[in-house]
Chain A
Amino acid sequence: MKLPLSLKVFTEQDTIDLANDFSKILKPGDIVALNGQLGAGKTFFIKHLLKNFGIDYVNSPTFSIVNEYSGTFNINHFDFYRINRLEELYDIGFEEYLIRDNSLTLIEWADMIPEVLPKKRLEINFLVNDDFSRNITIRRIS
């Protein structure tokens, strides 16, 4: 997979294929920020992405703020949807999750608290079109 990438997806299978391809460039220590409106398919993408790392049950972390899974390596699955301000993230030990370099960190609704995101990261944006297809862009920020 070459980055940056911009792709229009029409079916769930298109998204699954993209998630499978994307999994090949990920390694422990990476941080992936995912942005997009409600129902854009962020959790769906992560669910299929993580199947590549041996994780079958992926739930939305909206309520729990963070889900931890252990598969091929450890995964921190964050969701900033319910976070109101930066201090709340510090309070739950967000930074401690990031410095564990043997784990992969995925963050849904990352753009709700942009100031906390590390400078070096991967970013995926989901845009829902009027015909319900999605534009998905993936880029590396460093």
Chain B
Amino acid sequence: MMNVLGIESSCDETSVAIISDDKLTANLISSQDFHVKYGGVVPELSSRAHLQIIVPLLKDALKQSALELKDIDVVCATAGPGLIGALLVGLTFGKSLAYSLQKPFIPVNHIEGHIYSGFLMEDKPEFPCLTLVVSGGHTLLLIVKSHDEIIRLGTTVDDAAGEAFDKVAKMIGLGYPGGPKIQKTAENGDPKSIAFPVANLKNHYDFSFSGLKTSVLRYIQQKYGPEKKIPESDLPDITASFQNAVIRALIHNAERALKEYDVKSVSLAGGVAANKVLRNALGELAAKYKKKYVVPDFVYCGDNAAMIAYRGYKIYQSGKRFNYDFNAFPGLLPGTFKVK
């Protein structure tokens, strides 16, 4: 029996997960489990919040998996990219735990974790796989060739897609979190009613959402004046058109990649992968090119430790070993991905 512990604390969420013999037995996430179990305090953006909750989460994860601490065989934790103060909590905790148990420690790249969220599904992606990682902090188009070769085709040159959702939602008064609110409001809108532009970039696989944000601002400022009082009845068309522009940009680059690269499957990951219109649009694209399509369940789209445990397990199986003094890296490690 092989028990793998995963720890994630790169940004706002603290999460602890356990995989036992390829089966996920626990995946606890602070924002979902914190309020209910640990006294109803909303965790603020802080390393202290990670510190307060990481031990209770570990205890609960062990209990849920009917395991004791000594049963853990490998400890995996996110080492970057992320907010350094937040990263250090999970990473240091993971390293110390591994050292005290005298078990291997595996540092995991957060983005690689997201890529591997598709592998938590029963029907797994097949290599090579075209993967779109879309979240509040990242927008990446990648080809995952094998467990140890990932090629980055494109990334955002300014705002991430999820950030564009949040900021436009704020601009038009929908509030936070922007993604779900825009998706809901857009349901009754016509996505073709307003022609918001899609950026054309030098590297055809890159993304840019800053110009789109500005053009939404320009639209509402010109139409509604400096007061920006938008009648509620106009919101569905604005949100549907905005959402359509973001998704068009993502799908456009993904289709370009499908024409150029021979892949077996297509997958979607990251917090924005929870957007139903995007899930469907990429699914249709995969079907058009007769590719297998894997999209993680909602719970594995946002930050979670299950994906970190799974990715770490694969690294462990490849035979790679790391020292207990492995450092956090706030940016993307150079060389993590080959850049096309």
Contacts and interface: CB of A to CB of B under 8 A. Distances in A.
Interface in B19-65: 44-48
Contact of A38 (B135, B162, B217): B217
A85 B46 CA distance: 10
Contacts of B159: 43, 59-60, 62
A73 interface: no
Given A38-B170, A39-B171, A130-B221, A91 B85 contact: yes
Contacts of A58: 158
Given A39-B171, A43-B210, A68-B331, A88 B217 contact: no
A64 interface: yes
Nearest to A70: B331
A75 to B, nearest CB: 12
B167 interface: yes
Contacts, number: 88
B163 A62 contact: yes
Contacts of B279: none
Nearest to B226: A130
Interface stretch (B76-84, B123-131, B314-322): B76-84
Interface residues of A, number: 30
B84 A92 contact: yes
B137 interface: yes
The bracket for how many chain B residues form the interface is 35 or more
Contact of A88 (B46, B81, B171): B46
Contacts of B225: 130
A62 B159 CA distance: 8
B95 interface: no
Contacts of B155: 57
Nearest to B160: A63
B11 interface: yes
Interface string B134-177: 01110000000000000000011111101100110011000000
Contact of B210 (A60, A65, A83, A92): A60
B270 to A, nearest CB: 11
B217 A59 contact: no
B213 interface: yes
A87 interface: yes
A57 B46 CA distance: 27
Contact of B45 (A60, A82, A132): A82
Contacts of A87: 46
Contacts of A57: 155, 157
B158 A43 contact: yes
A64 B159 CA distance: 11
Interface of A: 37-39, 41, 43-44, 47, 57-60, 62-68, 82-85, 87-88, 91-93, 128, 130, 132
